[in-house]
Structure 1
Amino acid sequence: MSVDGWNTLLVLGGIRSGKSEFAESLVADAPTVRYVATAPEGDPEDTEWATRLAAHRARRPGSWTSEETAADPRRLADVIAGAEPHETVLVDDLGGWVTVLLDPAHQPADDTATIAELAAAVRASAARLVLVSPEVGLSLVPTTPLGRAFTDALGATNRAVADACDAVVLVVAGQPTWLKPAGAPPVPSRAGRPPSSALAAASPALDGGAREPADETLVTPEPLPEVLTPAVSPAPAPAAPAEGTAWAAPTMALPMVATGLVIQPGMELPMPDDYAGPQAVDRLTTLDIAGAGLGVLERVVGFAAATQGTPTPAPWASVRVLLLHGDHAGGASAGAEPGESARRARQARAGRGALARLAAESGASLQVLEAPTSAAMEDGPALTADQVESALRYGWRLAEQAADAGVQLLVLAACGAGTEAAAAAVLAATAGAEPPAVLGRVVTAHGEIDDAAWMVRCAAVRDALHRTRRSAREAKDVLAELGGGDVAVATGVLLGATARRIPVLLDGPVGVAAGMVSRDLAGQARHWCLLPDHGGQPAVRLAADVLGLTPLVDLRLDLGEGATALATLPLLRSVLSLAATLPVHPSLGGGEDDEEFAEPEPAGPGPATTEPEFAEPEPAGPGPATAAPEFGEPEPAGPGAGPDEPVSPGRRGD
């Protein structure tokens, strides 16, 4: 990826939207540009089309070289794949390429395979690549079969190429709107003047995002906590992490958070692959497995395939646990021992406790972070509006940091006092649940049931819901009034992870409460979540049902949030490893694995044989060799004649 955040870019736009001029402006500073023209020449009598082509050619600088792929649409993938790292390639446009692809002269042809080849070439491109394509999906469905075939093929092409590119921008009325996060390059003006303030201040934003005014002072984001790597056998006093392990550089999408993106309802975030998941599950039926299959764990394979975008997903190698520590004041924390949650957080930082030990066994990194302390929900808002915004951005940045570090899976956990009551309040506000039905029993540190504390928590949630009965039920309102700091940070993590296509294992009430809130901000977030176990908690059961998350196992472990997910992680990895490596059954065309067994080497010199050899005993003295075994008579117990000597009459009776 280039220093300005992207190496491959797809520029979309309607007719006369300025998409081609915008794409040309992005590569105007390149020393040399290979311009790939895909459109056919057209009817010689169509002067209007010829005029358009001439206008395109006239805009190109003399240092650019041009190539034509209209004669063979498959050649475009070869041109892109063969481009060198120092080259800049501009393809204009994919609409003309699809037109040629569907031309009867090139039929019959496997259009789907050709589009897949193009996407693979874009994904593997070493050159700086800009592709232009018309966006026709916003219009009505064409009334002719040929028109429908064109829009369907172009839509499939745009989706495949957009997924393969680092960044995607939509040009509307000459104004670029960045759809896929990446570092936005500066946009030079056509007259050579500095870019306008609107474009200069623009950074790639997700749909639905708004920006603060350019002259508003931006707040410097606070530093993120260090990332810990627990050892398998942690020492009592672990050494401080080496300098430089903490995140210090801006991530690819951090500028859009730091420069004023408003996280608000209706954001369009990525969705998992619609086709890879079902294909991976169907593929399981062909594997050489002795039993009936993977059972309910087939969902793990489908989930991993959809989030990784491949029918053969790989086990998650890089995993990070995010442990949120944030207490709730008031009746929500009734029955919690004072300072216990802080002790748990310190324990995790020191590499001790169940969570840290399981993280060490799984090879997962651990990040312990402090969420804002939440006020008593029954008395007033748990957080202010500014605290909610800050917590959402903070969680987003945590996901950004993980993505830039190559993390493939996040585990969301919490250890604050009162988190169960806060999650119950969120569920009551968003799903209409009754607090007593979703609030689990209170268990003391000695393993005793504290019903009095449970009633205090129920009363706190009831009073909070009564206080906010006339308040709006929007996502941020729920976080401010009821959810508190840990749920707000967890919501930001889910949104940031979704934006960067990182799956998340939810474990405990805080994670599922964040999933409920994130539905109103970006409905795509829940599709990136996986629930290993409900842990016997009623709040998790209800939220899982609403979110469409079926727990994979029913272990009923109660080791603290995050520990159950890590306990099931080896099982999930094993399932993915089997799905990725097992061959196809021989009856379905798979090869038979013939095992060869080598014969053991003889112990010493001698002829090789497949049957065991029994050595005859050596004769006691000189004599002829015989094939029959010789058995010697036992020696007499005392003095007397040997076996070959005559026996005297006086000894015959012995």
Structure 2
Amino acid sequence: MSVDGWNTLLVLGGIRSGKSEFAESLVADAPTVRYVATAPEGDPEDTEWATRLAAHRARRPGSWTTEETAADPGRLAEVIAAAGPDETLLVDDLGGWVTVLLDPTHQPADDPATIAELAAAVRASTARLVLVSPEVGLTLVPTTPLGRAFTDALGATNRAIADACDAVVLVVAGQPAWLKPAAPLHAVPAQAGPGQAGAPAQRAASRPAAWAGTPEQALPEVLTPAAPATAPVLAATPIEALPVDDTGLVIEPGMELPMPDDYAGPQAIDRLATLDLPGAGFGVLERVVGFAAATQGTPTPASWASVRVLLLHGDHAGGASAGATPDESARRARQARAGEGVLARLAAESGAGLQVVEAPASAAIENEPALTAEQVESALRYGWRLAEQAADAGVQLLVLAACGAGAEAAAAAVLVATTGAEAPMVLGRVVSEQGQIDDAAWMVRCATVRDALHRTRRSPRDAKDVLAELGGGDITVATGVLLGATARRLPVLLDGPVGVAAGLVSRDLAGQARHWCLLPDHGGQPAVRHAADVLGLAPLMDLRLGLGEGATALATLPLLRSMLSLAAGLPVHPALRDTEDDEDEFAEPEPAGPGPSRPTTTEPEPVRPPADEPEFAEPEPAGPGPSRPATVEPDEAVAVPESPGRRAD
């Protein structure tokens, strides 16, 4: 994705609408542009058409290069697929491409398949790509068979390319109207998939080969909201002495990662008792203050100003996804990228950045391992780098979310393998998109987890083995995120089965990771309840929201922020302030005498004898001496036996 919110763009418009000029203006700042001309030369005697083509050529800067694809309509998809991430392509236009596609010289041809190949090339393109096409949906139905064939083919092409592009704009009378927003307000999408720099908005669910043995996948880009000028920037320093090899970071069991501050958390909770609060105070939410204090290392923690949501999208094949609507998870991911849907709207309300992350697709765990060992290593490192990227950008809190089909069953399999639970105990009911309970799908998922555990009954139960055999792509990436966040002292809000399953696996790699996690709510899911009990992460609330993984955490985020703001901004109770002032002014009386009874900061006046009395003198060592001050009268003196050393009255 480019910095202005899109990587692939479709420009639609009518005849003489200014669509080509608008498209050219979008790439005018590129150092070099490859102009892909699709239209045939036409009739040599058609001077008007030749004039149009000449005008187009005259507008192109000298640094642009031109490539013709009119001879073969299939070549356009090849040109787009071969373009690298540092190239800029301008395709003008798809109407000419459809004209060539329908030319009798290319028949018989599978036109829908050719259109699908072009859409797939656009979707997978890493180059900055602008395509121009006439909009035919507003015209009358042509009266000739050839005209109807053209409009049908071009309409199908426009729909397919619009779905594959990050953004779509319609130019009317020279004025652009964005149909598919490039940069939604507040929640800015990011969609690059692993291994593809600046990837487009939609990715195929099954792409495990892109993860095998490639530790340097490109991270999805994200625009995080700017923190207020007064908000403190929390320290996010990397730990030292992490093991590395020739391929980069080595993630292995027994890693020594940082722990939160053991003293700041209890001190922050004790401090709450001194604040000017009515009633019983923060209640159970005082744990939020203690968590923030421990992770920030101060008894007065600040509210999280910069928050980033990581939405992991990775489907699971086989019975794990029984009852899931086909392509529903991909639709949810596309919604989030477009700034739509529950997660994007909640992120916008909270001012949080949204980063859609494509995890590797997982095989059917009842038949084979979900991932290869190489894919596990690559996905762990990828998740670690996602956390590092967030820390480097000044993010102060991560929210883990997921939307993959079959993720609940995969998480249940991880729980069964790591905690000894029974699959029916940790698998929640399957609810269809229409809100109906699907018990048949639930039984299929239970059988899938049972068969997967039976298949792996002799396999090791080490963290990486569990991820490879049962966890799959989304849980593996989530595990890497937790480890990377721990290394950079970055707290994480967990919400849903994928997050808690990753928390369980991360214990075997670095036991410190769970101490940087906070669970706002269990969502009524038995897997989350069980994992939270094992991890010692007591949920803060019992809302039972069923809005998808990550949505409950975002819904509770304003409340958590409010508690931190109160804890940081409220003064000490006046009664406690007065007591503290009195204690500061109090002075201990002189131990040798009774002294004054009221506290004072000045020295007491010395007791002086009357003028006619001699000053007091110390008694002789041979006698016991008087037990009272020398100013007492003789008749009040205590009678003592006379002795040679006794002083005369």
Question: Which band: TM-score by shorter chain?
Answer: 0.5 to 0.7
Instruction: Answer whether contact 1:584 1:590 (CA < 8 A) is retained.
Output: no
What's the CA shift for 1:229? 5.6
Asked whether 1:498 is paired with 2:493, we answer no
Match of 2:269 among 271, 281, 287: 281
Equivalent position amino acid for 1:544 in 2: A
Instruction: Answer whether contact 2:239 2:257 (CA < 8 A) is retained.
Output: no
Instruction: Answer whether contact 1:505 1:565 (CA < 8 A) is retained.
Output: yes
What's the CA shift for 1:261? 2.6
Asked whether 1:224 is paired with 2:236, we answer no
Q: Which residue of 1 is the match for residue 406 of structure 2? A: 418
Q: What is the rounded CA distance, in whole Å, between the counterparts of 2:293 and 2:512 in structure 1?
A: 16
Normalised to the residue count of structure 2, the TM-score between the two structures is 0.53
Q: Secondary structure at the match of 2:308?
A: strand
For 1:163-178, list aligned pairs within 5 A: none
* Higher-Rg member (1/2): 2
Equivalent position amino acid for 1:225 in 2: P
What's the CA shift for 1:262? 1.7
Q: Return closer, same or farther for 1:566/1:428 CA change in 2, 3 Å cut-off.
A: same
Equivalent position amino acid for 1:340 in 2: E
Instruction: Answer whether contact 1:585 1:591 (CA < 8 A) is retained.
Output: no
Q: Which residue of 1 is the match for residue 279 of structure 2? A: 291
Q: Return closer, same or farther for 1:557/1:257 CA change in 2, 3 Å cut-off.
A: farther
Q: Which residue of 2 is the match for residue 585 of structure 1? A: 573
Residues 216-243 of structure 1 show CA distances to partners (whole Å, capped at 9, x for unaligned) of: xx95612111215699xxxxxxxxxxxx
Q: What is the rounded CA distance, in whole Å, between the counterparts of 2:338 and 2:249 in structure 1?
A: 36
Q: Which residue of 2 is the match for residue 550 of structure 1? A: 538
Residues 602-644 of structure 1 show CA distances to partners (whole Å, capped at 9, x for unaligned) of: xxxxxxxxxxxxxxxxxxxxxxxxxxxxxxxxxxxxxxxxxxx
What's the CA shift for 1:403? 0.4
Match of 1:302 among 290, 293, 300: 290
Equivalent position amino acid for 1:436 in 2: P
Q: Which residue of 1 is the match for residue 419 of structure 2? A: 431
Q: Which residue of 2 is the match for residue 353 of structure 1? A: 341
Residues 504-541 of structure 1 show CA distances to partners (whole Å, capped at 9, x for unaligned) of: 00010000000000000000000000000000000000
Q: Which residue of 1 is the match for residue 466 of structure 2? A: 478
Q: What is the rounded CA distance, in whole Å, between the counterparts of 2:290 and 2:468 in structure 1?
A: 36
Q: What is the rounded CA distance, in whole Å, between the counterparts of 1:405 and 1:358 in structure 2?
A: 21
Q: Return closer, same or farther for 1:400/1:527 CA change in 2, 3 Å cut-off.
A: same
Normalised to the residue count of structure 1, the TM-score between the two structures is 0.53
Q: Which residue of 2 is the match for residue 516 of structure 1? A: 504
Instruction: Answer whether contact 1:229 1:360 (CA < 8 A) is retained.
Output: no
What's the CA shift for 1:305? 0.1
Q: What is the rounded CA distance, in whole Å, between the counterparts of 2:245 and 2:279 in structure 1?
A: 50
For 1:499-648, list aligned pairs within 5 A: 499-589=487-577
What's the CA shift for 1:257? 8.1
Q: Return closer, same or farther for 1:264/1:339 CA change in 2, 3 Å cut-off.
A: same
Q: What is the rounded CA distance, in whole Å, between the counterparts of 2:298 and 2:246 in structure 1?
A: 33
For 1:244-259, list aligned pairs within 5 A: 256=244, 259=247
Q: What is the rounded CA distance, in whole Å, between the counterparts of 2:512 and 2:357 in structure 1?
A: 25
Deviates more, 1:495-504 or 1:581-590: 581-590
Q: Which residue of 1 is the match for residue 365 of structure 2? A: 377
The root-mean-square deviation of aligned C-alpha atoms, in Å, is 2.1
Q: Which residue of 2 is the match for residue 368 of structure 1? A: 356
Q: Which residue of 1 is the match for residue 327 of structure 2? A: 339
Instruction: Answer whether contact 1:230 1:351 (CA < 8 A) is retained.
Output: no
Q: Which residue of 1 is the match for residue 431 of structure 2? A: 443
Instruction: Answer whether contact 2:249 2:381 (CA < 8 A) is retained.
Output: no
Equivalent position amino acid for 2:552 in 1: T
Match of 1:489 among 477, 482, 501: 477
Q: What is the rounded CA distance, in whole Å, between the counterparts of 1:259 and 1:548 in structure 2?
A: 35
Q: What is the rounded CA distance, in whole Å, between the counterparts of 2:315 and 2:441 in structure 1?
A: 16
Q: Return closer, same or farther for 1:357/1:225 CA change in 2, 3 Å cut-off.
A: same
Q: Which residue of 2 is the match for residue 185 of structure 1? A: none
Q: What is the rounded CA distance, in whole Å, between the counterparts of 1:376 and 1:549 in structure 2?
A: 30
Q: What is the rounded CA distance, in whole Å, between the counterparts of 1:315 and 1:390 in structure 2?
A: 34
Q: Return closer, same or farther for 1:364/1:510 CA change in 2, 3 Å cut-off.
A: same
What's the CA shift for 1:440? 0.3
What's the CA shift for 1:590? 6.3
Q: Secondary structure at the match of 2:493?
A: strand
Matched residues, percent identical?
A: 84
Q: Secondary structure at the match of 1:589?
A: helix
Q: What is the rounded CA distance, in whole Å, between the counterparts of 1:262 and 1:476 in structure 2?
A: 12
What's the CA shift for 1:260? 2.8
Instruction: Answer whether contact 1:267 1:521 (CA < 8 A) is retained.
Output: yes
Q: Which residue of 2 is the match for residue 269 of structure 1? A: 257
Q: What is the rounded CA distance, in whole Å, between the counterparts of 1:230 and 1:290 in structure 2?
A: 34
Q: Return closer, same or farther for 1:333/1:587 CA change in 2, 3 Å cut-off.
A: same
Q: What is the rounded CA distance, in whole Å, between the counterparts of 1:449 and 1:284 in structure 2?
A: 45
Q: What is the rounded CA distance, in whole Å, between the counterparts of 2:245 and 2:495 in structure 1?
A: 27
Instruction: Answer whether contact 2:215 2:382 (CA < 8 A) is retained.
Output: no
Instruction: Answer whether contact 2:215 2:248 (CA < 8 A) is retained.
Output: no
Q: What is the rounded CA distance, in whole Å, between the counterparts of 1:228 and 1:345 in structure 2?
A: 17
Match of 1:396 among 384, 407, 425: 384
For structure 2, the 5+ residue unaligned runs are 1-212, 227-237, 581-649
Q: Report the number of matched residues.
A: 357
Q: What is the rounded CA distance, in whole Å, between the counterparts of 1:312 and 1:280 in structure 2?
A: 6
Instruction: Answer whether contact 2:312 2:403 (CA < 8 A) is retained.
Output: yes
Q: Secondary structure at the match of 2:311?
A: strand
Residues 322-352 of structure 1 show CA distances to partners (whole Å, capped at 9, x for unaligned) of: 0000000000000000000000000000000
Q: Which residue of 1 is the match for residue 44 of structure 2? A: none
What's the CA shift for 1:591? 10
For structure 1, the 5+ residue unaligned runs are 1-217, 232-250, 593-654
Instruction: Answer whether contact 1:531 1:551 (CA < 8 A) is retained.
Output: yes
Q: What is the rounded CA distance, in whole Å, between the counterparts of 1:252 and 1:263 in structure 2?
A: 14
Q: What is the rounded CA distance, in whole Å, between the counterparts of 1:591 and 1:382 in structure 2?
A: 64
Q: What is the rounded CA distance, in whole Å, between the counterparts of 2:392 and 2:295 in structure 1?
A: 17
Q: Return closer, same or farther for 1:229/1:360 CA change in 2, 3 Å cut-off.
A: farther
Q: Return closer, same or farther for 1:459/1:220 CA change in 2, 3 Å cut-off.
A: closer
Residues 176-218 of structure 1 show CA distances to partners (whole Å, capped at 9, x for unaligned) of: xxxxxxxxxxxxxxxxxxxxxxxxxxxxxxxxxxxxxxxxxx9
Equivalent position amino acid for 2:498 in 1: V
Equivalent position amino acid for 1:268 in 2: E
